Amino acid sequence: MRRASHTAEKKGAAAKTRSSKRGVELGMSLEELHELEEKAVRLEKLAKTLLNTPQQAFYLYDHHAGRFVLGEKHLPGLYGYKQGEVERRKGSWLGIVHPDDLPEFTGAHTRMMEGKGDEVQTVRVRIRRKDGHFEWILAHMRAFERDENGRVISEVGMVNIITPLVAAEGELRATQARYHGLFQCNTAGVLVFDGKFHIVDANPAVCRMLGYDRKHLLRLGVLDVIAPGARPEMHKLLRSLTTGGRPAPAMDITLERRNSGKMEAMAGATCLHDAQGSFHQGMLLLTDVTERKATEQELRREAELNRLLLDHSPVAIGLLSAEGRVVRMNAAAEKMFGYGAKEVRGKTVWALPVMDAGEIALSRQRFQELTKGAEKVTATIPIRTRDGQARHIQSETQPVTKADGTIDFFIATGVDITERHKLETEVIRVAEQEQVRIGHDLHDGVGQTLTGIASLVEALESKLHGEDQKDARRIHELVKTAIAETRRLSHGMSSAAVKNRGLAGGLNLIAETVRENFRRECLCRIEEPVPRVSRDAEIHLFRITQEATSNAIRHGGATKIRITLRRQSPNRGVLEINDNGRGFSAKSAVSRGDGIGLRVMAHRANLINGELTVEGVKNKGVRVLCRFPLELP
């Protein structure tokens, strides 16, 4: 240890001796020499630091020697090359400059080489990296040494990688373009204001809305363009923004235009903050809602009118959801059924205790028809009110669809026809009785008289000879034909056929009568066991079949008729009459006023809580279908 310490001391003394000698040679003191050496060390350290700084490089290039004095490793290293690789490429350093930037780069270098001063030339170009990608750089270059003729001997320069900066500038330009589009081209009006609510910018849309040019608007405050009655609310909104509050939701406001006119607008406000998070500027977005306000007012007026019509209409009206649940019903419906709207809201119509099981099944079928595309369905529905009263309702239901065609809700209307139903029932009953009486009169009165005449003519015939006897025989045949026709009419007008034979026998009698009297093919098929109905229902079904077959022969010219009686379900029966006649439209017949027979058939079906449908196709016959409830055994 002593020996090492002694050696170091000897070296230090020798160094001081050498420094002292150099100082003597340069005419400098020892302290000045030490100071100069320390500066040289700091400069060398600074040069190394600059040469090894990431994303930038310094270089010194000797044009006479054709090589780098400084930066020979660091400069190519910025682009991923090793020392000497760029020089070995085709075109050397100019070969890695982007072709589009080469004219700008060579122009800057030429100006440096040919210039007489030491101005710095700056250029932004793209350099091809070793991996093939291009890197943006900012290059500064200037002449460092010149010969006695002013030609550049060497140049010095600095290169910075600015690819992130260029990308940021591009994003900034895109942001500015978007801002320009949102601000200048926005169809909504935009006002920009400062912390004192002075307008500092306005887009073209708000100028058009308010009737001001931009210069005039910039001399105003935000509150100057707000109607006096709305200014306190707007001032509160603006104050909350400038004091750090959250952006308020959009609100309707009244603007005051330059010509003292008023404009309804929807206003939304937001703010921009500075780097410290404090309020910098605010933006007020204004959308003209004058037309919307007028439309809303008209809709409110129309809604109020509809409400009055609904609430004061004598017709029962109900609004049903797409699932058949009660949404609303008017006072007339409450009075008709005896239930309040609040009691039934949200319930399906089938859950209300107003219809029996058979009618509920029919109601569901009608509802399915609507969901499958029917424009509307009508029916006469027997119901029982809350206090137990039996009523008959003439109902019509139709769907209301959305824009996409799906069902939004249903509107059901109902008229109490109980009294009319009773009157019509009584008319049918009286007419039935009158038919029976006339039938009896024909049979017992006219029929007996004709029978007596036939006997007298027959007796007279036996006493006559020659042509007189022949004439008497012809008269006798005509009287017998009249007797048969009278018997047929009396049987047709009387319901005794049904009463004595039952429904199945009555239908078979109709088929037999058609075959014998009209010489038409008529088949009757009765499903076993025979669907069971009440005596009144048998008479009505018999009469419906009579009317349908008569229409087929008289109006349709049918040559084939088929009568079918069957079960549709355990509690529903179906009577069907088909023919091959000319066919007709039931709707057109009723609209012309010549569908009395059809109306009577429909009414008879309603009397037995059934439904009648008539389907006529031109030249393809008519199908009469009556669905009716069955009696339980």
The strand ranges marked E within 312-388 are 316-321, 326-329, 377-384
Q: What pLDDT does residue 4 have? A: 42
Q: What pLDDT does residue 427 have? A: 75
CA dihedral 14, 18, 20, 26 (to 10 degrees): 180
Check residues 80 and 441 and name the one with the higher pLDDT: 80
Q: Are residues 478 and 399 in the same domain?
A: no
**Domain final residue pick, 450, 470, 494:** 494
Q: Are residues 545 and 455 in the same domain?
A: no
Token output for 324: 């058949």
Task: Report whether the peptide linkage leading into residue 247 is cis, meaning its omega lies within 30 degrees of zero.
Answer: no
Residue 1's pLDDT band (cuts 50, 70, 90): very low
pLDDT digits 0-9 by tens, 69-108:
888 888 888 899 998 898 888 889 999 999 999 999 999 9
Token output for 164: 């992130």
Region 393-414 average pLDDT: 91
Specify if 531 maps to a domain: yes
Q: What pLDDT does residue 247 have? A: 61
pLDDT digits 0-9 by tens, 547-597:
899 899 988 899 999 999 999 888 889 999 999 998 875 444 444 444 678
Domain total of the chain: 5
Count of beta carbons in the 10 Å neighbourhood of residue 110: 11
Q: Are residues 483 and 587 in the same domain?
A: no
Q: Are residues 550 and 615 in the same domain?
A: yes
Residue 34 pLDDT more than 70? no
CB 253 within 8 A of CB 266: yes
pLDDT digits 0-9 by tens, 228-258:
999 999 998 888 888 776 666 788 899 999 8
Written as one string, the DSSP assignment of 176-227 is HHHHHHHHHS-SSEEEEE-TT-BEEEE-HHHHHHHT--HHHHTTSBGGGGB-
Q: Are residues 156 and 272 in the same domain?
A: no
Which domain range does residue 477 map to?
A: 417-494
Check residues 105 and 19 and name the one with the higher pLDDT: 105
Residue 511 pLDDT more than 60? yes
Q: What pLDDT does residue 243 have? A: 78
What's the chain's average pLDDT?
Answer: 83
| Cα atoms in the 13 Å half-sphere on the side-chain side of 4 | 1
pLDDT digits 0-9 by tens, 152-170:
988 988 899 999 999 888 8
CA 414 to chain centre: 32
CA 37 to chain centre: 85
Specify if 301 maps to a domain: no
pLDDT digits 0-9 by tens, 414-435:
999 888 878 777 777 777 777 7
Specify if 20 maps to a domain: yes
Q: Are residues 323 and 286 in the same domain?
A: no
Q: Are residues 475 and 544 in the same domain?
A: no
Cα separation, 493 vs 345, whole angstroms: 50
**470 CB-near residues (< 8 Å, 6+ apart):** none
Residue 371 pLDDT more than 50? yes
Residue 47 pLDDT more than 80? no
Q: Are residues 508 and 629 in the same domain?
A: yes
Q: Which of 270, 287, 362 is nearest to 629 (CA)?
A: 362
Specify if 371 maps to a domain: yes
Token output for 249: 């939701």
Check residues 438 and 194 and name the one with the higher pLDDT: 194
Q: Which of 207, 211, 167 is nearest to 188 (CA)?
A: 207
pLDDT digits 0-9 by tens, 170-199:
888 888 787 777 788 888 899 999 989 999
Residue 30's pLDDT band (cuts 50, 70, 90): low
Region 605-632 average pLDDT: 86
Specify if 389 maps to a domain: yes
Cα separation, 84 vs 106, whole angstroms: 21
Q: Is 583 helix (H, G, I), strand (E, B) or coil?
A: coil
Q: What pLDDT does residue 8 have? A: 44
Q: What pLDDT does residue 410 have? A: 93
Q: At what angle do helices 418-441 and 596-607 cross, to 10 degrees?
A: 110
CA angle 524, 530, 532 (to 5 degrees): 125
Residue type for position 279:
F
Local structure of residue 248 (DSSP, 8 states): P
First to last CA, the chain: 132
Environment class of 610 (CB within 10 Å of its CB; exposed 0-12, middle 13-18, buried 19+): buried
Specify if 298 maps to a domain: no
Q: Is 82 helix (H, G, I), strand (E, B) or coil?
A: coil
Local structure of residue 443 (DSSP, 8 states): I
Q: Are residues 251 and 262 in the same domain?
A: yes
Residue 24 pLDDT more than 50? no
Using the structure block, give the residue that is written with the tokens 């900012």.
138
Check residues 465 and 181 and name the one with the higher pLDDT: 465
Region 376-385 average pLDDT: 88
CB 60 within 8 A of CB 70: yes
Q: Most confidently modeled of 107-111, 462-466, 471-475?
A: 107-111
Distances in Å between the Cα of 81 and the Cα atoms of 52, 76, 78, 92, 138 are: 15, 5, 7, 12, 18
Region 190-213 average pLDDT: 92
Q: What pLDDT does residue 11 have? A: 46
Specify if 175 maps to a domain: no
Residue 413's pLDDT band (cuts 50, 70, 90): very high
Q: Are residues 553 and 435 in the same domain?
A: no
Specify if 299 maps to a domain: no
Stated as kind and residue range, the H or E segment containing 118 is none
**Domain final residue pick, 364, 394, 416:** 416
CATH of the domain at 17: 3.30.450.20
Beta-bridge partner residues of 160? 56, 138
CATH of the domain at 507: 3.30.565.10
Residue 467 pLDDT more than 70? yes
Q: Are residues 19 and 97 in the same domain?
A: yes
Token output for 36: 């100069």
**Domain final residue pick, 469, 494, 519:** 494
Residue 66's pLDDT band (cuts 50, 70, 90): confident
Residue type for position 414:
G
Q: Are residues 443 and 536 in the same domain?
A: no
